[in-house]
């Protein structure tokens, strides 16, 4: 759970993000944070993440300041990769407050390095617009629960080396209503990484898919 309680702030967009990986809602203080969480859901190496996980106290100009990191990301243990603290900020804000951030993060980085963590910045420049749009689209279908439909799709897609979604639906059934019922489960299986497609190209019914 977050260390800091997030107040309502009408100067920025706040809310909660329904995390599939964490099995709970994650609080965000900006749309950029929300989009960052979404991208983490699609990162195979990420097993979990938490918002505003702890407090750091540091000295500057003989005064004590408190800092609460934005996000702490945990990776798959087989990677032998340290957990990473991310500060999520818009690039123009970093430029405008360059001296402030440099001084602040230099202090924080010392603490993080001493505690077996890594530290990185994330800005809107780190996002690919098409990939993000695809992620937003697919994430809507994460909680579908008809396992029989999913099983049938996965069995039939193995008959193709690769195929378009439209072609697969026609092969699966000539009934348009059945096709409509199947389509959301194809989206879910792409999200679950059980069906592969190119996330860097806008996903449509003409997208090429294949079994993983």
Per-residue pLDDT of the chain (212 residues; tens, 9 = 90+): 444 444 444 347 899 999 999 999 999 999 999 999 999 999 999 999 999 998 888 777 788 888 888 999 999 989 889 999 998 999 888 888 777 777 777 777 777 888 889 988 899 999 999 999 999 999 999 999 999 999 999 999 999 999 999 999 999 889 999 999 999 999 999 999 999 999 999 999 999 999 98
Task: List phi, psi (to 5°) of 50.
Answer: -140, 145
Q: How far apart are CA 164 and CA 160, in angstroms?
A: 10
3-state DSSP assignment of residue 94: helix
Neighbouring C-beta atoms of residue 169, cutoff 10 Å:
21
Predicted TM-score (pTM) of the model is 0.88
Q: Calculate the dihedral angle through the C-alpha atoms of 134, 26, 55, 96, rounding to the nearest 10 degrees.
A: 40
Q: Which of 94, 90, 62, 87 is nearest to 72 (CA)?
A: 87
Structure confidence at residue 56 (pLDDT): 81
Structure confidence at residue 63 (pLDDT): 84
């Amino acid at each position: 759970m977050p260390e800091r309680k997030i107040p309502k702030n009408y100067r920025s967009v706040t809310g909660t993000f329904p995390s599939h990986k964490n099995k709970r809602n994650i609080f965000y203080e900006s749309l950029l944070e929300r989009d960052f969480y979404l991208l983490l859901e699609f990162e195979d190496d990420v097993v979990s993440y938490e918002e505003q996980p702890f407090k750091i106290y540091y000295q500057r100009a003989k005064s004590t300041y408190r800092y609460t990191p934005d996000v702490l990301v945990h990776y798959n243990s087989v990677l032998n990769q340290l957990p990473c603290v991310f500060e999520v900020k818009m690039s123009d804000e970093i430029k405008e407050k360059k001296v402030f951030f440099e001084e602040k993060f230099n202090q924080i980085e010392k603490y993080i390095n001493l505690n077996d963590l890594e530290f990185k910045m994330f800005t809107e420049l780190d996002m690919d617009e098409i990939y993000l749009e695809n992620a937003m689209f697919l994430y809507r279908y994460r909680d579908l629960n008809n396992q029989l439909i999913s099983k049938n799709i996965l069995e039939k897609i193995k008959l193709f080396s690769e195929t378009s979604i439209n072609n697969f639906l026609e092969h699966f059934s000539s009934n348009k209503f059945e096709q409509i019922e199947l389509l959301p489960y194809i989206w879910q299986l792409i999200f679950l990484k059980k069906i592969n497609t190119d996330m860097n190209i806008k996903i449509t019914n003409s997208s090429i898919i294949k079994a993983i």
